[in-house]
Each structure stands twice: as C-alpha cells, then as structure tokens.
Structure 1
C-alpha cells in the first residue's frame, strides 16, 4: 500500500544520481525530519525524535534536483510513501520509509532560491534564468514611499 505525503525536512546525505541500463535517471538521497517544540517551563526549543526517509526522484526531476540540492538543504517533498520490510546481511529485519518524489523544492522559510526553467523542446536543454532581484530594488510589496504596503 502507498499513500501520498508531503514532508518538510533536511537533506541528510549527498544526493547520488545514477542512470539505469535503459537510460532512466534516478536520484537517491535521505531526508531527516523532526519536530521542534518549545518547553513551556524553560522557554527553550528542543528537537523531537528524527524520522528518516529514503527519497528517489526519476528522470527530469532527478536531474534537476541533482543540480539544485546539497546535503543540509531544507526541502519540501511531495510523493508516494511506501513502508517496506527488509532483511539485513546479518539476518536482522528492518523497516524502511521510502518516498518516490513527484515534486521537490527548497523550503523558503530557511533561505532564498532562484529558478531556472529547463526548456527541452529544441532537442537541447536550454536553461532560462529568472531575472534576479537585488536587495536595493523595490519589490511590489512596497508603496511609493518605500514602506511596506
């Protein structure tokens, strides 16, 4: 059985891209998630238990993610979750939580990102960069006086 899930986490391993004998690109990496809670008595933040997910991204999503992600990045992942049993080489059994990613993006709560659209309709991959916004450029959220609207 599989379910669709969205998780927010941190890339815990360096992403690894491989190509199958049939030419399909597969990106694999692990993501760690944990909940942060504030202790009401002390006011201090504490991390809860960590969950680990094995993430796979196929074809163009895998290739684009390989160019975009690094270990330590905060990400949002949407995909198909599958919980599976496995047996280790020493004979012990384990359980794995695997996600086949349908969509991956940076969690902009922790930083900024830029986007380059990939155009493959010409037979060659042509990356189109969005115009960057400099820090001194007024955004649409500001009024004529430079104050937040």
Structure 2
C-alpha cells in the first residue's frame, strides 16, 4: 500500500547520485523528522521521537536535487510513501518508510535559496531572478489573454 505524503525534514545523509544501466539518474538520501514541543511541567522545549525516511528521486529531480541539497538542509518532500517490512541476512527484522519523491524543495522557514531554471528542451540553465523575468515581460504566470473565456 502507498499513500501520497508531504514531510518537513532534515537531510540526514549526504545525497548519493547513481545512474542505472538504462541511463536513469537515481538520487537517494535519508531524511529525519521529529516533533518539538513544550513540556507543560518544566516549560522547556523538548524533542520528540525521530522518524527516518529513505528518500529516492529519479531523472531530472534526481539531478537537480543532487546539485541543490546537502546533509543538514531543511527540506519539504512530497511523494509516494511505502511502508515495508524487511529481514536482513543476519535475521534482523524491521520496518522501512520509503518515499519516492515527486517534489523536493528547501524549507524557507530556515533560510533562503536561489532558483536556477533548467530548460527541459536543451538541458541548459537560465540564471535570472524573478524580478529580471518580470522586467523582460517573460513571466511564467498566464496573462489574462491566455485564460479561457
């Protein structure tokens, strides 16, 4: 069974990029989430239990994420969650929470980032700020004339 989820997490391991025999880019990393709450008795902030997720991304998302993410980054991950049981060769059993990411981005509550658009048709990058795009009249927002009547 799988469900679509969004998590706010910290990149817990260095992202690793590989390429399959068919030429598909695959990125893998682990991400951790935990709840931080105020203890009513002491008035102190305490960390709750940590949940670990194995994140995988494919193709362009894998390549772009490899260029953008580092261990320790705060991220938002949207994708397909799959919980699976496993047994290792030594007999150890466990449960794994895996997310096949459809979107990954930095959590801007914790810092800033700059965006570099990758042109899908050529693979080239465009370095332009949102303000530069607006000055040039090249806004990605639809114009009133583009809307269906």
On whether the aligned pair clears a TM of 0.5, the verdict is: yes
Instruction: Tell me which residue corresponds to 2:83.
Output: 83
Unaligned ranges ≥5, structure 1: 134-149
RMSD in angstroms over aligned alpha carbons?
A: 1.3
Q: How does 1:1-149 map to 2 (within 5 A)?
A: 1-122=1-122, 125-131=123-129
Corresponding pairs, count: 131
- Off by >4 Å, runs of 4+ in structure 1: none
- Checking the alignment, whether the CA contact within 8 Å between 1:114 and 1:132 is kept in structure 2 is no
Query: Aligned partners of 2:92 and 2:81: how far apart in 1?
Result: 23
Does the CA contact (< 8 Å) of 1:114 and 1:130 recur in 2?
no
Structure 2 unmatched runs, 5+:
132-149
Residue 132 of structure 1 and its aligned partner are, at CA, apart by: 8.2
More helix by share: 2
Alpha-carbon distance in structure 2 between the residues aligned to 1:130 and 1:43: 46
User: Equivalent residue of 2:67, what SS?
Assistant: helix
